[in-house]
Amino acid sequence: MQPILVNPCSYKSLETVLDTIVAKTEKQWVAIGCDGLPFSLCSKMIENYFICPHCNESFTKKVQFINHINQENLDIEIENCKKYKNILLIPGMGHIDINNTKALFKLMWQPCIKDLAILLGWKSPKALTSCEHCTDHHKATQILDILFESLTSELLKIFVKHCHEKKQQPDIINLYAFAKKQPKQYQFLFKCTFTYLLAWKLLKKGMRRGNFHFMKMSMDKLSGLYYGLNMTTYMDLWFRFEKMMARAPEDVRSFLEHNMCMSQSGHPSKAEGGDFILESTNKKIKSFMPYGVPTDERWTRVCNNIEHIEQVSLKIF
């Protein structure tokens, strides 16, 4: 496993990464997982990087390439000249989950999460700030789970009491009709609970089971938060991914759907995003390094020998 020792947060460094991956791969399609900013930058590179098949000159803007073929009077198909036309981008679902959790905290912090956090023990200003910014993702997940169960019970208790008094059937249709007639506070909590928190829980279940349809359905609901809370990176990410899936051939789309999340152990309910799998691998690699800031040489040496190191470690310990 040879690492590419660049920070993938600029066009130049991402070009190095993509060129290296493409050079080592002899497949019609190359699926690459990336998160947030790298996903957005790579998408723009796929759309705007061209190579002229006649003179092999490279272009980083579509307008420049069109001007070139017009000046040279070339009769070529523009789409076939894209430098990275065979690359498919898979978003990191783990980081999408983290940012969805942060978005829900930002939306509901003042109305209800802050009071819940104080009840659960986050009392000092520093502790509340840490909780608000979701510095511990697992604890933030537990808080949202508690909030969902609590709000569901309280909101439905009012509805069931109303149905009992009016002798109505407590079904879904009557629930939504009842919610529309309630005060703004009830409507806000109702939407937060049965639109965003419910979609968030379904997203986590879909990720764990590798169920793309659960993930897609949930993200269609949660992606509205990106626009309301001005999360521009993930706004762009989900829009570009949706566009890519709509344009992809059936077999390619099916491949992407089945590989959004994967299970390292093979257990059907323990799948996770490829970005979290990579982070787990990085953590394992770092465990075999000396303390301190790792150098490029150390990274390369450990990555190239990680399988042998693990075998030796198992036999010794």
Residue 245 lies in a domain: yes
Please tell me the predicted confidence (pLDDT) of residue 105: 96
Cite the beta strand spans of the chain per DSSP E.
30-34, 50-51, 58-59, 87-91, 261-262, 272-273
Q: What is the DSSP letter of 112?
A: I
This prediction has a pTM of 0.87
Predicted pLDDT of residue 1: 60
Q: For the chain, which ranges sit under pLDDT 50?
A: none
Asked, for residue 216, whether it belongs to a domain, the answer is yes
What local confidence, expressed as pLDDT, does residue 127 receive?
94
Residue 185 pLDDT: 93
Looking at residue 106, what is its pLDDT?
95
Gap between the Cα atoms of 223 and 246, Å rounded? 17
**Crossing angle for the helix pair 93-108 and 198-209, to the nearest 10 degrees:** 170
Strand 261-262 with 272-273, pairing: antiparallel
Domain that holds residue 195: 94-258
Nearest in space to 234 (alpha carbons), one of 95, 89, 88, 137? 95
Does a structural domain hold residue 228? yes
Task: Give the integer Cα–Cα distance in Å for 90 and 262.
Answer: 12
Number of domains in the chain: 1
63 found inside a domain: no
Say if 105 falls within a structural domain: yes
Asked if residue 124 belongs to a domain, the reply is yes
Specify if 172 maps to a domain.
yes
What is the pLDDT, as a whole number, of residue 283? 85
Classify residue 48: in a domain, yes or no.
no
